[in-house]
Structure formats: C-alpha cells, structure tokens
C-alpha cells in the first residue's frame, strides 16, 4: 500500500497518475477533499481509498503496519501567506507527525521540501546538509520547509529510507486550481488567450534586465519520475535538490509559450507587486549532482520540451495528467 498526501493537488495528483502507469494501484490518497476545484485532478485514477487530511494521523496509527511507502507531498504552499501559525501547523507539525509514524511503523518516506529554503542563494544551491542550518528563506513558507529539514537532520530515529525533495519551479498539468500560485507558464497561456499579450515582472535589480530574471523551471513529469526512482531504488537517504539543473529566463518561458500557441510575441512588463518585491528570487539553479551520483539517469525535459508538451497536450485542451 502506497500513501500520497496532497494527492488532489498539483504534484500529488501527477504522482498518482505516474504510479498508476508504473502498475501501482493500491494507493491511498490523502487531502482536504472539501476543495471541489481540485476534484478533477483525481478523476480516472486508480486508488484504493481516500483519507481526509485531518484524519490521516489517526488512520496511520490504525493501518501503519500495512503501508509500504509514503509520499508526503501535501503542504501549504502559498508564498504570499504570512501567518506563521498556519505553516507551523500544516508544514512543520503535521510533517513531524508523519515522520514519527514512519519511524514507528518502519515506513520509507519521501517528503516535499522546497527551493524556497535557499532564500537569495547566499550559500548557493547545493543540497549539502551542512548548509541547511545557515539558509535564510525569504518568507514563512520557505521558513517552514527549512524548519522541517533542520528538524529532520537533528533526529536520532529515522525511517528505513527517507528523502526530502527541494522542489524548484515546478510547472505542468493539473495546476488549474492554483490561482495566483500557478506557474508562470499557465498564467502566460491564459493571458495570451485572453489579451493576445503577456505581462512579465519588471526587474528591480540592476543586475538583471526586464524578463532576464533566471529560475530553474522543472517539468512535473520529471519530478514524479524522480519520486518513482526513489521508491524503487532507495538510494542513500538525505535531502535532494529537484530542479532541471538549468536556469532559464522568464523571457525564454514566455517566448516558448507564444511559439506553441502559434501567436506573435507580445510581451510587456509591469512592476513586481510590493508585497513580494523584497522577497523575490532573481536567480535559482539546482545543483543536481547529488541525485545523479545516487544513480538517477533519466534525461530531464528542456524548457522547450516541457512547455511544448504542457501547452499542446494539456492547456490547449484543458486536459489532465
């Protein structure tokens, strides 16, 4: 039995789909199923049971002995939310409860961390355990993910295998419900369809041109492939980066969206909103050497390949993965 938390969300639902493709059908999905806008993400997928998030820890105490693996993907991911108590409850304390259950019942665990933990990148983007205690995230979301990483590294009791995944800028199908927090590619697609143009944030950093801000964009199909690898191969436990390993500009992203829509480029710039301006990452790029050294050999989608698949096979037809 495999458990996926956050299973009705973006990455979680794509993971359930990939597990089904790999032949896994005994999947228990965990989420807040009251949010109807996410319901289509699980349509057509083969699952064993649904468990509400608030019931999950109690469920684990009853059925933990039957669980073979847990993917703890569920989290509060809103980087514009500044109520620390919300993140403490959902991203730290809940994750601690999941970890402790995995230790008790000897269940391997993969959990979602975030590249938001790296802050402005003062210490680089290498997934070295020694640097985690020094990182300075830019918002309560990043703090919560780093707080849990730090807590994990202080433990004396561990699941038989565990991995924390620092997701970089993930994009791809099944993010229709995410609103403001959806990927820039989805926002670009919607803006181009509605207005014929695309607005990008203006640079407020003299070291970067408008649209020249650099991010490590990683396609969700690559993310779930790594998740599957970790379950099936269980390399050395630890915290791993999960990006493409290549930083690309927002202009590259926008241009490729226009290209795959068959539209003429029409890109303008707007000021970055005040509430996130001083928390804005101008550069991220995952050092992927640790995962490669662990034996991962699959080729990651380039930005061009990922955007083409996402736009032409999903966004244009409102399809789900």
pLDDT in tens, 225-283: 999 999 999 999 999 999 999 999 999 999 999 999 999 999 999 999 888 888 788 99
- Name the residues annotated as catalytic: 141, 178
Q: Which two tokens stand for residue 109?
A: 């665990």
- Answer whether 0.85 is exceeded by the pTM: yes
pLDDT number for residue 187: 93
pLDDT in tens, 167-186: 999 999 999 999 888 999 99
Distance CA 31, CA 51 (A): 7
Backbone dihedral region of 244: left (phi > 0), alpha (psi from -120 to 50 degrees) or beta? alpha
pLDDT in tens, 46-82: 999 999 999 999 999 999 999 999 999 987 766 556 6
DSSP state of 282: S
pLDDT number for residue 141: 87
pLDDT number for residue 278: 80
Q: Across the chain, where does the E strand assignment appear?
A: 2-5, 27-31, 49-52, 69-72, 109-114, 162-167, 169-171, 198-201, 214-215, 217-219, 238-242, 248-249, 267-270
Evaluate if residue 37 carries a pLDDT over 90: no
Q: Which two tokens stand for residue 265?
A: 């480029």
pLDDT number for residue 82: 62
What the chain holds in terms of domains, given with CATH numbers, is 2-171+218-245+285-301 (3.40.50.720)
| Helix boundaries (H) for 173-248 | 184-195, 220-233
pLDDT in tens, 112-151: 999 999 999 999 999 999 999 999 998 888 899 999 999 9
Distance CA 306, CA 245 (A): 14
Evaluate if residue 96 carries a pLDDT over 70: yes
Distance CA 230, CA 224 (A): 10
Query: Which helix (DSSP H) or strand (DSSP E) does residue 176 occupy?
Result: none
């Amino acid at each position: 039995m495999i458990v996926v938390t956050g299973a009705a969300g973006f990455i979680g639902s794509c993971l359930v789909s990939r597990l089904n493709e790999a032949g896994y059908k005994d999947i228990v999905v965990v989420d807040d199923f009251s949010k109807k806008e996410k319901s289509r993400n699980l349509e057509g997928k083969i699952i064993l049971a649904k468990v509400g998030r608030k019931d999950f820890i109690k469920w684990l105490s009853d059925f933990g002995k039957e669980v073979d693996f847990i993917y703890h993907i569920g989290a509060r991911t809103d980087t514009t939310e500044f109520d620390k108590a919300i993140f403490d409850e959902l991203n730290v304390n809940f994750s601690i409860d999941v970890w402790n259950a995995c230790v008790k019942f000897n269940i391997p665990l993969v959990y979602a961390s975030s590249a938001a933990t790296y802050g402005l990148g003062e210490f680089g983007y290498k997934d070295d355990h020694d640097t985690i205690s020094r990182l300075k995230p830019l918002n309560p979301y990043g703090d919560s993910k780093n707080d849990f990483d730090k807590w994990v590294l202080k433990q004396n009791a561990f699941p038989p295998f565990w991995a924390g995944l620092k997701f970089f800028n993930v994009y791809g199908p099944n993010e229709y419900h995410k609103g403001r927090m959806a990927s820039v590619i989805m926002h670009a697609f919607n803006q181009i369809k509605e207005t014929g143009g695309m607005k990008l944030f203006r640079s407020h950093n003299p070291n970067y041109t408008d649209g020249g801000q650099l991010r490590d964009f990683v396609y969700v199909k690559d993310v779930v492939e790594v998740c599957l690898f970790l379950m099936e191969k269980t390399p050395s436990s630890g915290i791993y980066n999960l990006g493409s390993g290549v930083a690309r500009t927002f202009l590259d992203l926008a241009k490729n969206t226009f290209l795959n829509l068959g539209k003429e480029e029409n890109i303008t710039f707007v000021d970055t909103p005040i509430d996130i301006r001083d928390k804005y990452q101008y550069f991220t790029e995952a050092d992927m050497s640790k995962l490669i050294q662990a034996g991962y050999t699959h080729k990651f989608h380039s930005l061009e390949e990922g955007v083409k698949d996402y736009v032409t096979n999903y966004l244009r037809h409102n399809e789900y993965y």
